[in-house]
Amino acid sequence: MAGILIEGVTGSGKTQTLRALKHHREFSDLLGSGRVFDEEETFGEFMSEIQEQGIPVQYHLRRLEHVLTLLERKSGSAEKPVGFVLERFHLSYYALLPDWDLYAAFDERLARLNCRTVLLRVPEPDISLRCLDREDRAGTTWSDDMISHFGSRPAVLDAIVQSTRRRSEAARKSRLPTLEIDTGARSWEVYADQVVEAWHVMK
């Protein structure tokens, strides 16, 4: 088994990179009998859930446990080669709830599953355009909702910068090898090639 964890703040290009990866000529062979776990399954509404009072921390981590249990069962029973892709995982959790002790055991389990992190980064000068005033969210309440949640436009941008830095901090704490990709050029096919190359190393 070998897998890839695709990480990055909102607007960093996770969806575009994953789309290009799925169209890569080697993707099917690398994925084998495995699957892609999208962020609805790996992350869900964690951002809003942690605002609620009185919820045990372990409840917040239930998606991490669920996904890892599925992967470990597949790893132990599969006769065919198994690959996997996670769109967001414990680094995104750390960005919002930065206590590494909560995630160290998950990180070790990912390491045993032969996983590598691909950390997508937005150049800080591009954060406003890419992460808040997103072209793909034009005509929606995305920007207004973010500003309402954080209290002001500067507060949103500060939160995104902090989230970016915390993901890098978590990657340094992690046992997983990390490939960092600056997505300023938005060259999604090039990034997919880099992900595939990194995936091959893990096989």
Question: Rounded to an integer, what distance in angstroms lies between the CA atom of residue 6 and that of residue 188?
Answer: 13
> What is the per-residue pLDDT for 117?
98
pLDDT classification of 79: cutoffs 50, 70, 90: low
Q: What tokens appear for 187 in the block?
A: 């060259």
- Please give the pLDDT value at position 53: 85
Q: What is the pLDDT of residues 141-169, one digit of tens each?
A: 989 999 998 999 999 999 999 999 999 99
Instruction: Kindly report which listed range (33-47, 132-146, 176-190) carries the lowest average pLDDT score.
Output: 132-146
Q: pLDDT at position 12, please?
A: 96
For 97-124, the pLDDT digits (tens) are 999 999 999 999 999 999 999 999 999 8
3-state SS assignment for residue 12 = coil
Residues 6+ apart with CB under 8 A from 23: 192
User: What's the number of domains the chain is made of?
Assistant: 1
Average predicted confidence (pLDDT) for the chain:
93
Domain region containing 11 = 2-202
Contact present, 202 and 84 (Cβ < 8 Å)? no
pLDDT value for 78: 59
Which single residue is written with the structure tokens 């992900």? Answer: 195
Residue 149 has what pLDDT? 86
Which CATH number characterizes residue 48's domain?
A: 3.40.50.300
- Looking at the DSSP bridge assignments, the partners of residue 121 are 182
- SS3 at position 124: helix
